Chains A and B, each alone.
Chain A
């Protein structure tokens, strides 16, 4: 199984900050890496698919990068609605696996 190691697990930041969240796969997952945002009591929402493709309706302050085993989600200027928990997800091979999550909180 492909293990997804996500860091940091907790991130404190302020509105307007630039933040990055990292995800490292235990093996090459090619381009098949997604990022999701989950707010309390809600279902996860797809932000970025296949490394760097912005899902419809997602603001351009979100971006993704990476290749091979190392991937990054960047939020260029944090907005109040961005606080929540973020998960990476590989869909390169079965079983599909998620990172353990990054809780982004207000500093």
Chain B
């Protein structure tokens, strides 16, 4: 069974940093690209970043480019999102999702709240 479990969220002050993790199981992690997707409270879905299976291709939404860094460790079956210079508008539930035919499997999400 495919499972994706996010962690690392919490309350952080504006301008500070936070690193999210997503541990994958139930499939060969190193064979798949992965996405981070977020959802602000009561709002729609926003794609954040993508990384290919071997980390050769990386793409970001303009809203997070130069502030967020996606990475992965295939030996640990783990996806990361390093977030810096956080803003109040980054407050959201962050999902990791496997990139197959778009995004087929999603984790349950981890909440990030940016507030002073």
Contacts and interface: CB of A to CB of B under 8 A. Distances in A.
A89 B57 CA distance: 21
Interface string A22-63: 000000000010101000001111100110010100000000
Q: Which label, helix, strand, loop or mixed, suits the secondary structure of the B interface?
A: loop
Interface string B22-55: 0000000000000100000000111100100000
Contacts, number: 55
Given A43-B95, A43-B109, A96 B104 contact: no
B47 A96 contact: yes
A96 B62 contact: no
Contacts of A46: 101-105
B101 A87 contact: no
B47 A49 contact: no
Given A95-B60, A97-B47, 13 more contacts: A1-B62, A34-B103, A44-B45, A45-B106, A46-B105, A50-B101, A87-B44, A94-B50, A94-B59, A95-B59, A96-B47, A98-B44, A99-B44
26 contacts: A1-B62, A42-B108, A43-B95, A43-B108, A43-B109, A44-B95, A46-B101, A46-B103, A46-B104, A46-B105, A49-B102, A50-B101, A87-B44, A89-B45, A94-B50, A94-B59, A95-B47, A95-B60, A95-B61, A96-B47, A97-B47, A98-B46, A98-B47, A99-B44, A100-B44, A101-B44
